[in-house]
Amino acid sequence: MTLFAMLASVVFGAVAKDTTQERLLYGVKVFAEFMAIGLVLSWILYFIP
């Protein structure tokens, strides 16, 4: 999941914004969102049989 989030956020970050700093920040933000949503969904699914 971490690897997937990293690869996807690299591409999303490179595509999305104009300046390098904005791209970097956006990439980090997308990575954090992937990880957070993945972990939350994992815990929800853990309790569903």
* Contact set with other proteins (CB under 8 A): 3-4, 7-8, 10-12, 14-15, 18
Least gap, CB of 18 to other proteins (angstroms): 7
Query: In the complex with other proteins, which residue's Cβ is closer, 7 or 28?
Result: 7
CB atoms within 10 A of CB 29: 14
Least gap, CB of 10 to other proteins (angstroms): 5
CA gap 40, 19 in Å, rounded? 31
Least gap, CB of 48 to other proteins (angstroms): 18
For residues 7-19, one letter each, b for 16 or more C-beta atoms within 10 angstroms of the residue's C-beta and e for the rest, the string is eebeebbeeeeee
